[in-house]
Amino acid sequence: MLDRLDRVQDTDGLPRVQMSSPDRLFSELEADSSLLCTWTGELFLELHNGTYTTQAQIKLGNRQCETLLHDVEVASSLALCLDKTFQYPSQPLQVLWRLLLLNQFHDVIPGSCIEMVVEDALRYYQGI
């Protein structure tokens, strides 16, 4: 990945990328908020060079729910190993996984969806 960055770093039409740590990035942004910009209006990028947007709550909710469902699957598997009468929660887990996967749709997970979809996604995460 870094080799590719070196090869395309000076290519006309491509954005300039500077490697940094998250701590350094946010420190620089805190020090000079004029480096931040706000996009107002339609979020259609004519050449589709990339969609530079995110919804941090979406990413956090997705990760928390992935972890939670994984842990429930592991705990349920262990419970079944220890007690053959344990009823593995296949149906409820399938419903929850499908809800999580719905939120991983290509416009939801990067945050390029409309506000109403963000609200729905956050409500789904709460339900999971």
pLDDT at 52: 56
pLDDT of 11 above 90: no
Apex 82 CA angle, 66 and 65, nearest 5: 10
Cβ contacts of 77 within 8 Å, gap of 6 or more: 88
**pLDDT tens, 57-112?**
999 999 999 999 999 999 999 999 999 999 999 999 999 999 999 999 988 988 88
CA proximity to 121, closest of 94, 99, 106:
99
CA proximity to 17, closest of 3, 6, 29:
6
| pTM beyond 0.85, yes or no | no
pLDDT of 28 above 80: yes
For residues 123 and 47, the model is more confident at: 123
For residues 27 and 36, the model is more confident at: 27
DSSP code per residue over 1-19 = -HHHHHHHTT-TTSPP---
CA proximity to 93, closest of 119, 110, 71:
71
Instruction: Check which CATH number belongs to the domain holding 76 and give it.
Output: 1.20.1270
Token pair of 1 as six digits = 């990945």
Q: Which of 2-6, 9-13, 44-48, 123-127 has the lowest mean pLDDT?
A: 44-48
Q: What is the tally of structural domains in the chain?
A: 1
CA distance 50 to 45: 8
pLDDT at 25: 87
pLDDT at 43: 64
Average pLDDT of span 12-20: 82
Name the residue range of residue 110's domain.
2-127
